[in-house]
Amino acid sequence: MAGRGRIRAADIALVRERSKIDEIVGEHLQLKRAGGGSLKGLCPFHDEKSPSFQVTPSRGLWHCFGCGMGGDVISFIQQIDHLSFSESVELLAGRANVELKYEDDGGRPTGAPDRANVGQRARLVAANTAAAAFFVEQLGTPDAAPARQFLAERGFDRQVAVDFGCGFAPGGWDALTRHLRGLGFTQAELVTGGLAKESSRGSLIDRFHRRLVWPIRDITGDVIGFGARKLMDDDPGPKYLNTPETPLYKKSTVLYGIERAKRDIAKRHQAVVVEGYTDVMACHLAGVTTAVASCGTAFGGEHISVLRRLLMDQDEFRGEVVYTFDGDAAGQAAAMKTFAEDQRFVGQTFVAVEPNGHDPCELRQEHGDAAVRDLVARRTPLIEFVLKTTLAGYDLDTVEGRVAALEKTAPLLAQVKDHALRPAYARRLAGMLGLPDETEVVDRVRRLTGEGSGERPRQRPRPVQRTPDDAAVAVEREAVKAALQVPEIAGPSFDAVPAEAYTDPDYAAVAAAVAAAGGAAGATVTGAAWLEAVAEHCPLESARAQLTALAVEPLRSVGENDVAYVNALMARMQEIYTVRQIAVVKGRLQRMNPVEAADDYMKAFKQLMDLEQLAISLRKRATGGLTP
Ligand SMILES: [Zn+2]
């Protein structure tokens, strides 16, 4: 800064000595004992999953073995806060109560009225802090009635407003500017600090007018900017205005509530990401003390890094990040975006979705503190939410729907970078799709990622609708044989099984042709005439070609009792079909939320119970006839 002398070397040494490096660094990331008197944590300067950032308090040094950065407490502040060397020394001096003297200014101490001696960062923090106090004061004025009403309507009383430092930016053009100029802040400081801007006439005007304001603090608790909400209908600005990018305020890393939440985020290994200032307030008041929100920008990669450094536990990242999203389309889109961007930690990423689209603030107003805590407690893994959201667009009760849904969801699983997690997700997806096992899903994902399998030979791709169950296909063959050979016995029980219950396309076509010809029970002719009637209704060439063989090949009945055999056969056929239906309903249940869709859930559950019951009785009938 112009006109400022160099800080005396002795003072710099004193600042270094009095600033505990583990405390200063510990404000930005979670440090754990690493043996030999060192501490380690996740490096704030590069993205990493296991800690290679080490601090040695006895020597006052830090070093990252991942990216190679390192230094002392001053260089840490320089890097993390993007400050110059002297600004960093000044910041640390302020905290350690060290009075700095400058070499060519006659040794005037800081804190004295001479502004030139004070570093820019400290000045900007001071200006923002003074502005916050001014706004708080204004909240009591008559003009601020709409702001007080806004807070009261959302269940925030006066004490809460004080606690969170809520304030009011008054009308007029330059109330704050004049106030801060009166306190000795320069025009340049007000502009650089994001508190005022130059009007077209060259004079300074306040950045915020007639708005409810929240002070935004950095992780150490310094006020670095504001969020301001529109209150008046004739306010032409957007709903929310924020401090612009300044040397203090970097929106890509700023998190509202971080100074309040950081201790519990580290302690509980959980961070809750909400969307607005009132949501952060509601969460903290409701006991969800790990809530933060990004300010005036989407929650992004750098925000996540800030949280991860606090969540680091022992040797790895184990904490969870819970996003609250509206249940609406926008919220789902946000979740999908998060999924697409945040792959490495997908296993530790959760979503808490309020089915009625309430945000935490509305939820607290309508249903109280416990409802907010419940919302977070009911979180689901992000991957599951994304799969469910995607599957919602398909009719999974049809084969075509399931095939299309697998086509769409397999690429999502293929995106999951943590390979160890994929099998479990594949199993989960198979369950949701109502597939008998995860093989189809695993194969599909493997093909998409181009990975071979070391453990077993690569399987030949096969269509999803055909589960290769030789036993089932054999039963199908026997069933259509019976329908062609002894329609009078196969009769109603054959007709009760729909053609789509057959996994073999040829047998399915034969079953459909039998139905089209009037059904086995309705067969008025037998032998060749019946076969001809069925053939007429069978458009599938390959199936038609087999008709004679099927009509001729002896049934595998044990002994001479065709009636008992055919009845058991049909029961077995129905059982297989029922078991498949059970998988479909189970999949549907897994995709449902028992709380949100209680009625549908109970209906499906009842259906499942009925099907299970039916399967049991069919199994008895089938084994009774098929086992000698
Ligand atoms: Zn590093």
Q: Is the pLDDT of residue 459 over 80?
A: no
Determine which helix (DSSP H) or strand (DSSP E) holds 312, and give its type and residue range.
strand 312-313
* pLDDT(183) > 90: yes
Ligand 1 centroid – CA 23 distance (Å)? 19
Above 60 in pLDDT, residue 462?
no
Cα–Cα dist 149/147, whole Å: 5
How far apart CA 459 and CA 448 sit, in angstroms, is 14
Residue 324 and residue 273 in contact, taking contact as beta carbons nearer than 8 Å: yes
Ligand 1 mean position, distance from CA 302 (Å): 14
CA of 66 to the centre of ligand 1 (A): 5
**Would you call 99 helix, strand, or coil by DSSP?**
coil
What percent of the chain has pLDDT above 90?
32
The confidence score (pLDDT) of residue 573 equals 84
Average pLDDT over residues 246-263: 92
DSSP E strands, 199-290: 204-206, 211-217, 223-230, 240-242, 255-256, 270-274
Using the mean position of ligand 1's atoms as its centre, give its distance from the Cα of residue 71 in Å. 12
| 366 vs 622: which has the higher pLDDT | 366
Least confident of 316-320, 416-420, 585-589, 605-609: 316-320
Q: How far is the CA of 271 from the centre of ligand 1 (A)?
A: 22
Cα 70 to middle of ligand 1, angstroms: 8
Interior/surface letters 115-134, b for 16+ CB within 10 angstroms, e for the rest: eebbbbbbbbbbbbebbbbb
CA 65 / ligand 1 centre spacing (Å): 7
pTM over 0.75: no
Q: How much distance in Å is there from the Cα of 119 to the middle of ligand 1?
A: 27
77 C-alpha vs ligand 1 centroid, how far in Å? 15
Q: Which residue, among 560, 572, 510, has the nearest Cα to 538 in the 3D structure?
A: 510
Cα 91 to averaged position of ligand 1 atoms, centre (Å)? 23
Q: What is the mean pLDDT of the chain?
A: 84
| Distance between Cα 51 and ligand 1 center (Å) | 9
Distance 29 CA to ligand 1 centre (A): 12
CA distance 188 to 204: 10
Centre of ligand 1 from the C-alpha of residue 246, in Å: 25
- Over residues 203-247, the pLDDT tens digits come to 999 999 999 999 999 988 899 999 999 999 999 999 999 999 998
Distance of CA 11 from the midpoint of ligand 1 (Å): 29
- Expressed in angstroms and rounded, the spacing between residue 290 Cα and the centre of ligand 1 is 26
Q: What residues flank ion ligand 1 with Cβ within 5 A?
A: 43, 45-46, 64, 66-67
CA of 42 to the centre of ligand 1 (A): 8
SS3 for 38? Answer: strand
CA 304 to ligand 1 centroid distance, Å: 16
Distance from the alpha carbon of residue 266 to the mean position of ligand 1, in angstroms: 20
21 CA from centroid of ligand 1 (Å):
17
54 alpha carbon – ligand 1 mean position (Å)? 9
